Chain A
């Protein structure tokens, strides 16, 4: 068994779902072929079993020949063992096929998400991409899985048909025509069932969402009441779901019964024709038993064929979703001939707003419109949707620099920054060379650490959900500080923390970034009071630059934005 996942998932052909599935299949051709080979032997063993049983009854039992009986029983045992061995080998190959395809899809999706970076949420809903990992991959994996059994189904069907035809043309034709006919008969029955069960599945998932909604809002309910309202609602939805499920059961049970009835009719027909031939001596008693066995066996290839068709349809739908994501291109285009990076401690300048970020200083940006500051921060780090040449580092436009160089030197940490799961120390020190303790101290996050049972070794849960909003914000700040980039742009880094903590962060930030370039967008007086320089923007243009105290004293508009309400009272 080969080791999975593969180191490099390759470059997919995402021009169409069919091509994509074919490309996937080509990547794992040897295991697919192996699965098919074992699948064919495995199902063929089952197909010939009735013939062996028939011979044993004819030549061993009916003729009272103990030698023959032992011989045929031995053959049966051997074929049975072969079936067991090929069966498990087929299963192993099928699982490998499923896994190879699934892992490859996860790998491709992850690599594509990383390639798209900040462009991803602008181009596709994140839920759609995540759904690839939760549902689409298993649909595509199923297609790879079922191939082994499908190959066996086709070969064993042909095998049984050949055996029957050689015994009785009439019976052979009944099977050759009857089985595909049954397949066609079952098809239309599935349609209404599928739509009813789709409704029921939807209701069930809605009900599950209602449950999740209640649990997520439990604390809110506890504060103010309303549990009864929600319990009533859940009960109503639960009962409606039950009714829908019973409606499905009405149809499903008919289908279950038909799965007994239709093949049964087929068995009865074959036995009837066989017995009539037996009466005239055309076939033996043992062959009659074998016919019964064949007709019962044929349901297996029949069901497998149906399963293959269903899985292929679903697989194609899933593949089209994967293709859509894989075909996306990032907004940010690498320059064809990148400029050589400017010297360290170069000035960052934005021509559009007129903002000059002086190297080595802590600069605050105050804007009358919060959105303006966020957009400016994005542009300073080349993370905005549209690319322009107006932001430059040391006189060179960011768009003509290699992206890796920009990411290395300029880091933007915004309010939407995500905290990832893992060991806390690793999640703070993402680049692996930062001073975690110092960063946590500056972000005034010591109390978070104290509250954790294992300190820096504690595990951060998915998206940092175990922390409160304010705690997460301080940890994200610590992470940005630990990365220690040449230029750090912080967007509202203390908006969710209380005044005491904010005051502490403000007091420690400048010392921490001493000698490095830092930009902070904020309107908090506590923070503004602690920076080297404040740039005040109105309508997206810098209109005044100075210290907090100077601007407070000289610029009325600035005063209004920063301490407007207090001024109104005092």
Chain B
């Protein structure tokens, strides 16, 4: 179970295809935004041309009224540019937010449909990173980097075109920018992504170590780990510094080469233009306008270049988010309907890692309404068997069926109507207590919710809550103990009311003295339901109809409590010892 396989990441082609699809989904928004940006960039180009004309007329002698007229035009274009900028920015933000919302909702929908086996194999860390930092990174890219970049590209192209419209000769000095630009950019982009990823990773390492030190401060003191934690922190900082030094080195080479590529065309235009002017081939206005245009190119080109690595990171996040949709489903819905409520396992084998079976041919014939307890040492395969019996994983060979239909042939929604699983995992969702209980059966009445909570002995503390069922629980809300969380999980199950229940140490965190009372009151409510309980404490086994002892992926002993104690096997030995007569 600890062997980790990563969730898939889509390739570049699929990412581009997806971006294309998104663009096609909102053609009107996209083209309005782009059109407005083009117009805004065009109005910005008026200033150098007007100024060039102004310089020329000043040089040749002119009147105040002519100056006033040109400045009027300058002001008019400024107003136009400002208004167009406003709407262009707004439209592209609207578009960005729309796409972003679609993307994150698709991602969550895909995540909710992931086969649990895959999530566990990959570890929830990978998925949490995608939910957290990848959505954030992509949000930043879509919200900021992509529009800025598009605007920069639009205005760079238009400014360049405007510069060329002054005269073909402007093209030549602009060529001077190419060598340092192309060489510098290629060199930098080939290294930047890994460099910045390493930098980010080194920061999360600092945060991880710090949060471990802070949250584990008691343990740090108890074990005398203070000096070690301090050393670890300094090590993390040193590693982060190494990563920082590397990216700083990248920038130390890259930035000056960019500066050079911006500088050369401006100086070149001035020199070349000046030379042409002395030959009488161009006017003073043209030289001035051209130089100002080439100078104006610096800003958008610089933005295009500096946003590129941000876009690279955004694309990488997008690839990880889209990757979740590529996980193949491990269920094959056949459309057959179960003929009865009878659960059967037939020669079931299962492995998490190929070639290492953890279940070696299990047969289990469960009577309808029977209560079976599974006991055995940890690592014997109890939980795995429980999950197979709940239809979470498909068996490698053999079959787990309900009414002769394989559990993995049933659609997820139907499956839960037959079998449900509650484990010791005690996650409480952010929301009201009511929402937490009704999630398997939305729209249940308050009475039904209270009955369910009552069946798991939870009403005592629920009634003490100031807001009762409306109390907000979960991360950031009112804290509930691990034991209360398990009660909530069991109340969900009572409300869901499937005919077969698999309980995997579902009461393990509840005080042993309270647990037994709870199990009894639960048993009363679940009368007639089939229950398979993986037992943590021996009294649960004692109360069951039959006990299955699982050892090394096989059922070693199977029978009623009394029979097994009489048989004198490993269960009997354990019982004797526990009961204090050993």
Taking a contact as CB atoms closer than 8 A, the residue among A218, A448, A458, A500 that contacts B375 in the complex is A500
CB distance from A326 to the nearest CB of B (A): 13
How many of chain A's residues touch chain B, expressed as a range?
35 or more
A557 at the interface (CB under 8 A from B): no
CB distance from B350 to the nearest CB of A (A): 15
Contact among B104, B120, B218, B256 for A211, CB-based, below 8 A? B104
- Among candidates A118, A246, A288, residue contacting B58 with C-beta atoms closer than 8 Å: A288
9 inter-chain pairs at a CB distance below 8 angstroms, sorted by A residue, are A126-B214, A207-B104, A219-B120, A249-B93, A257-B85, A421-B212, A430-B223, A453-B2, A499-B538
In the bound complex, what is the Cα–Cα distance between A129 and B240 (angstroms)? 20
- In the bound complex, do residue A260 and residue B108 qualify as a contact, i.e. CB atoms below 8 Å apart? no
User: Would you call A84 and B255 a contact (CB within 8 A)?
Assistant: yes
Cα distance A416–B51 in the bound complex, in angstroms: 73
* Contact indicator B74/A84 (Cβ below 8 Å): no
A260 in contact with B81 given A219-B119, A231-B112, A235-B105 (CB within 8 Å): yes
Q: Which of B124, B219, B412 contacts A418 (CB 8 A)?
A: B219
| B42 at interface by CB-CB < 8 Å | no
A223-B421, A235-B105 are known contacts. Are A264 and B82 too (CB-CB below 8 A)? yes
- A233 to chain B: which residues have CB within 8 Å? 431
Contact residues in B for A226 (Cβ distance below 8 Å)? 439-440, 442, 492
Smallest CB separation, B137 vs chain A (Å): 12
B248 contact from A95, A249, A271, Cβ within 8 A: A95
Given contacts A212-B128, A500-B375, contact A64 B277 (CB under 8 A): yes
With A87-B259, A213-B475 as known contacts, state yes or no: A231 contacts B109, CB within 8 Å.
yes
Bound complex: CA A242 to CA B86 (Å): 19
B22 at the interface (CB under 8 A from A): no
What does the 1/0 interface line of B189-221 toward A look like (CB < 8 Å)?
000000000000000001111111111111111
CA of A4 to CA of B236, assembled, Å = 11
* Most chain B CB inside 10 Å of its own CB: which residue of A222, A458, A469: A222
Closest 10 CB pairs of A and B: A117-B221, A418-B216, A226-B439, A249-B93, A447-B379, A84-B259, A223-B421, A257-B86, A500-B377, A80-B263
Residues of A within 8 A of B237 (CB): 4-5, 103, 106-107
In the complex, besides A118-B222, A216-B128, 8 extra interface pairs with C-beta distance below 8 angstroms are: A80-B266, A118-B217, A121-B218, A223-B421, A245-B97, A249-B93, A525-B580, A552-B580
Of B305-313, B446-454, B464-472, B511-519, the segment with at least 4 beta carbons within 8 Å of chain A is B511-519
CA distance A381 to B216 in the complex (A): 17
How would you classify the secondary structure of chain A's contact residues: helix, strand, loop or mixed?
helix
Q: Which of A215-265 contact B (CB under 8 A)?
A: 215-231, 233-235, 238-239, 241-242, 245-246, 249-250, 252-254, 256-258, 260-261, 264-265
Say yes or no: is B94 at the interface (Cβ < 8 Å to chain A).
yes
Q: Given the interface contacts A3-B241, A253-B93, A430-B228, does A114 sit within 8 Å of B213 by beta carbon?
A: yes
Mark out the residues of chain A between 528 and 570 whose CB falls within 8 Å of any chain B CB in the assembled complex. 528-529, 548-549, 552, 562-566, 569
A418–B225 CA distance with the chains assembled, in angstroms: 12
**Cα-based distance from A77 to B173 in the complex (angstroms):** 14
Stretch from B12-20, B164-172, B268-276, B337-345 at the A interface: B268-276
- B336 in the interface (beta carbon within 8 A): no
State whether B54 touches A275 (Cβ < 8 A): yes
Is B238 positioned at the interface, with any CB of A under 8 Å from its CB?
A: yes
Chain B residues positioned under 8 Å from A87 (CB to CB): 255-256, 259
B278 neighbours in A (Cβ, 8 Å)? 64, 66
Comparing B283-291, B363-371, B398-406, B524-532, the segment that makes contact with chain A is: B283-291
By the criterion CB–CB under 8 Å, are B536 and A499 in contact?
Answer: yes
B82 touches A241 (CB 8 A): no
Residues of B within 8 A of A85 (CB): 256
Is B420 in contact with chain A by the CB < 8 A criterion?
Answer: yes
Among candidates B124, B236, B267, B582, residue contacting A77 with C-beta atoms closer than 8 Å: B267
B213 touches A503 (CB 8 A): no
Tell me if A224 and B493 are in contact (CB < 8 A).
yes
A107 to B241, CA, bound (A): 14
Question: Known contacts A76-B266, A211-B135; is A114 also within 8 Å of B89 by CB?
Answer: no
Per the 8 Å Cβ criterion, residues 94-139 of B in contact with A are: 94, 97-98, 100-101, 104-105, 108-109, 111-114, 116, 119-120, 123-125, 127-128, 131-132, 135-136, 139
Q: How far is the CB of A186 from chain B (nearest CB, A)?
A: 14
CB–CB B226/A114 < 8 A? yes
| Among listed A31-39, A159-167, A341-349, A407-415, interface-contacting one | A407-415
Q: From B76, which residue of chain A is reached at the shortest CB distance?
A: A268
Kindly list chain B residues whose C-beta atoms are within 8 Å of the C-beta of A69: 270-271, 274-275
Report yes or no: B536 in contact with A498, Cβ–Cβ below 8 A: yes
Contact with B along A433-462 (1 / 0, CB 8 A): 000000000000001101111000010011
Interface readout for B358-387 with A: 1 if CB under 8 Å, 0 if not?
000000000000000001111110000000
The reply on A210 being an interface residue by CB < 8 A is: yes
What is the distance, in angstroms, from A199's C-beta to the closest C-beta of chain B?
14
Chain B residues in 8 Å Cβ range of A222? 116, 392, 421
Complex-state Cα separation, A337 to B248, whole angstroms: 51
| A285 contacts B by Cβ under 8 Å | yes
Does B90 reach chain A (CB closer than 8 Å)? yes
* CB-based contact A53/B270 at 8 Å: yes
Contact between B578 and A525, CB atoms less than 8 A apart: yes
Q: What mask results when residues 424 to 468 of chain B are scored 1 for a CB within 8 Å of chain A, else 0?
A: 110101110001000110100000000000000000000000000
Contact B97 A242 (CB under 8 A): yes
A230 to B59 Cα, complex, angstroms? 72
B3 located at the interface, meaning its Cβ lies under 8 Å from any Cβ of chain A in the complex: yes
Q: For B516, what are the chain A residues with a Cβ–Cβ distance below 8 Å?
A: 565
Q: Is A92 an interface residue (CB 8 A)?
A: yes
In the bound complex, how far is the Cα of B376 from the Cα of A497, in angstroms? Answer: 11
Given A113-B214, A225-B439, do A208 and B131 touch, yes or no (CB 8 Å)? yes
Is A483 located at the chain interface by the 8 A CB criterion?
yes
Question: Are B580 and A563 in contact, with the CB atoms below 8 A?
Answer: yes
CA distance A299 to B411 in the complex (A): 62
A254 and B86 contacting across the interface, CB-CB below 8 Å: yes
Does chain B have a CB within 8 A of A292?
Answer: yes
Partner of B208, one of A116, A229, A292, A462: A462
Interface check A383, CB cutoff 8 A: yes
Cα distance, A404 to B226, chains bound together (Å): 11
Contact of B376 among A413, A500, A548 (CB under 8 A): A500
Q: Which of A21-71 contact B (CB under 8 A)?
A: 53, 56-57, 60-62, 64, 66, 69-70
Expressed in whole angstroms, the Cα–Cα distance for A83 and B236 within the complex equals 35
Chain B nearest CB: distance from A249 CB in Å? 3
A499 touches B537 (CB 8 A): yes
A501 to B578, CA, bound (A): 12
A242 touches B98 (CB 8 A): yes
Q: Is A218 touching B440 in the complex (CB atoms < 8 A)?
A: no
Contact of A498 among B97, B212, B259, B375 (CB under 8 A): B375
- Cβ contacts under 8 Å, A208 to chain B: 131-132, 135-136
Tell me the complex Cα distance, A256–B207, Å: 35
Of B59, B209, B219, B425, most A-chain CB atoms within 10 Å:
B219
Q: In whole angstroms, how far apart are the Cα atoms of A479 and B223 in the complex?
A: 9
Docked-complex contact B222 and A383, CB < 8 angstroms: yes
On whether the beta carbons of B216 and A118 are closer than 8 Å, the reply is no
Whether the pair A88, B287 counts as a contact (CB closer than 8 A) is no
B564 to chain A, nearest CB (A): 14
Whether a CB of chain A sits under 8 angstroms from the CB of B158 is no
Is the beta-carbon distance between B210 and A106 smaller than 8 angstroms? yes
Query: Which of A5, A213, A465 is B238 in contact with, Cβ under 8 Å?
Result: A5
CB atoms of A110 and B230 under 8 A apart: yes
Are the C-beta atoms of B274 and A61 separated by less than 8 Å? yes
Alpha-carbon distance between A12 and B151 when the two chains are bound, in angstroms: 46
Residue ID in chain A nearest B537 by CB atoms: A499
Give A411 to B259 CA distance when docked, in angstroms. 61
Partner of B222, one of A83, A218, A407: A407
Do B252 and A113 touch across chains, with their CB atoms under 8 A apart?
Answer: no
Are B2 and A452 in contact, CB atoms less than 8 angstroms apart? yes
A397 touches B (CB below 8 Å): no
Interface residue A463 (Cβ < 8 Å from any Cβ of B) = yes
- In the bound assembly, the distance between CA atoms of A264 and B46 in angstroms comes to 12
